[in-house]
């Protein structure tokens, strides 16, 4: 298998959910970049499990240890390696699934791909635990972009069938809104809708079930001209990283699938000259991207996250060893909804991709 992504900035993730540690290597960082440990910890805390009643009971502090590539608080320009030790694991909960793949998980496909030698405990290398090092890498990239005035923020657009009544204003959302959302464990634009979302998650947990949802993300102050046509477009670059996040099943930019129902006169973003003599568009249906290249308008995309596949309800599966149908009741500690914790991961993937393009 290959766990490496990127060309200008290369990242490689390693580890398993119930192994000794998970980690990441970043290659291609310029020397002299400030490694703000407090800033990284704040970003890691947004993703860490066990902080609210809406997440898994597994408690991980996600404390990282930088092994190389950092000296006196700045990047050296050599490969930067960081590890995050695994602590609160109950591996015995997964003995039953060694021969009984969980529906919705990669247990079956992983067994086939790696001929049964894969570590299945907690999902092994397929686990969402591997998103912790991704957030670490994203924190470094995010800090670099913020120093250039580029800001990213997200809100939970929907959980199950409950939807935030507001969306980002595609042409005029300010950075203060995004910065405020980035400090919220459950970021929404309408607090009332947010409470309904939380209630629906707790209800699903009580029923032994789970929920998915959609996250809307915006990047402000990206200059025009970032990206390339075709294979290294902004859309293809970000999509590759976003789809690398476990549970992500859909990505759309701007109006996405809705734009297919529009007429050209409705979908086209017409231009005007701003007071600052900058070329802007009246609308932003294309999400700030044309021809795979940024046009200076806010970059907007939505990410669909599927319901957590580990649920308490009995599910049908097979016993691979006996070759018979079976009923599985999953043990262990699992999120009834991973969408809130996916928000910082989605942002991390986006900033890694953007910095690589820049």
Question: Given its phi and psi angles, is residue 207 left (phi above 0), alpha (psi -120 to 50 degrees) or beta?
Answer: alpha
| Ligand-binding site membership of 309 (annotated) | yes
pLDDT at 89: 60
- Domains in the chain, start-ordered, CATH in brackets? 4-357 (3.60.150.10)
| Ligand-binding site membership of 306 (annotated) | yes
d(CA 200, CA 246): 22
Q: What Å distances lie between residue 226 and 17, 111, 151, 245, 348, CA to CA? A: 36, 40, 15, 23, 18
| Ligand-binding site membership of 129 (annotated) | no
| Ligand-binding site membership of 47 (annotated) | yes
d(CA 358, CA 353): 9
| Ligand-binding site membership of 291 (annotated) | yes
Tens-level pLDDT at each residue, the chain (358 residues): 567 888 889 999 988 878 788 999 999 999 999 999 999 999 988 988 766 667 665 566 788 999 999 999 999 999 999 999 887 665 566 676 778 888 888 888 888 888 877 777 777 777 888 889 999 999 999 999 999 999 999 999 999 999 999 999 999 888 999 999 998 999 999 999 999 999 999 999 999 999 999 999 999 999 999 999 999 999 999 999 999 999 999 999 999 999 999 999 999 999 999 888 999 999 999 999 999 999 999 999 999 999 999 888 899 999 988 899 999 888 766 789 999 999 999 999 999 999 999 8
| Ligand-binding site membership of 308 (annotated) | yes
pLDDT at 61: 74
| Ligand-binding site membership of 301 (annotated) | no
pLDDT at 93: 63
d(CA 14, CA 83): 9
pLDDT at 71: 94
């Amino acid at each position: 298998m290959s766990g490496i992504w990127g060309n200008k900035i290369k990242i490689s993730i390693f580890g398993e959910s119930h192994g000794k540690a998970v980690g990441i290597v970043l290659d291609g960082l310029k020397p002299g970049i400030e490694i703000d440990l407090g800033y990284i910890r704040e970003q890691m805390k947004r993703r860490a499990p066990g902080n609210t009643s809406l997440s898994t009971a597994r408690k991980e502090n996600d404390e990282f240890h930088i092994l190389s590539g950092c000296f006196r608080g700045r990047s050296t320009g050599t490969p930067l390696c960081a590890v995050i030790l695994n602590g609160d694991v109950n591996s015995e909960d997964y003995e039953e699934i060694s021969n009984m793949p969980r529906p919705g998980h990669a247990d079956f496909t992983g067994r086939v791909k790696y001929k049964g030698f894969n570590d299945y405990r907690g999902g092994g290398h397929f686990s969402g635990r591997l998103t912790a090092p991704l957030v670490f890498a994203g924190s470094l990239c995010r800090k670099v972009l913020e120093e250039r005035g580029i800001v990213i923020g997200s809100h939970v657009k929907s959980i199950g069938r409950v939807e935030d009544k507001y969306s980002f204003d595609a042409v005029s959302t300010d950075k203060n809104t995004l910065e405020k959302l980035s400090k919220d464990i459950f970021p929404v634009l309408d607090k009332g809708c947010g409470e309904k979302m939380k209630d629906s998650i707790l209800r699903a947990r009580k029923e032994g079930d789970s929920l998915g949802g959609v996250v809307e993300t915006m990047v402000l102050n990206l200059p025009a001209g970032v990206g390339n046509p075709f294979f290294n477009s902004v859309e293809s670059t970000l999509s590759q990283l976003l789809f690398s996040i476990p549970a992500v099943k859909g990505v759309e930019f701007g109006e996405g699938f809705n734009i297919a129902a529009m007429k050209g006169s409705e979908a086209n973003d017409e231009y005007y000259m701003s007071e600052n003599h900058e070329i802007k568009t009246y609308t932003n249906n294309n999400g700030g991207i044309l021809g795979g290249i940024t046009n200076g308008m806010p970059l907007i995309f939505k990410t669909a996250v599927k319901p957590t596949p580990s649920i308490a309800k009995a599910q049908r599966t097979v016993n691979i060893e006996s070759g018979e149908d079976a009923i599985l009741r999953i043990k262990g500690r699992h999120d009834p909804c991973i969408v809130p914790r996916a928000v910082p991961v989605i942002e991390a993937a986006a900033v890694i991709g953007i910095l690589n393009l820049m």
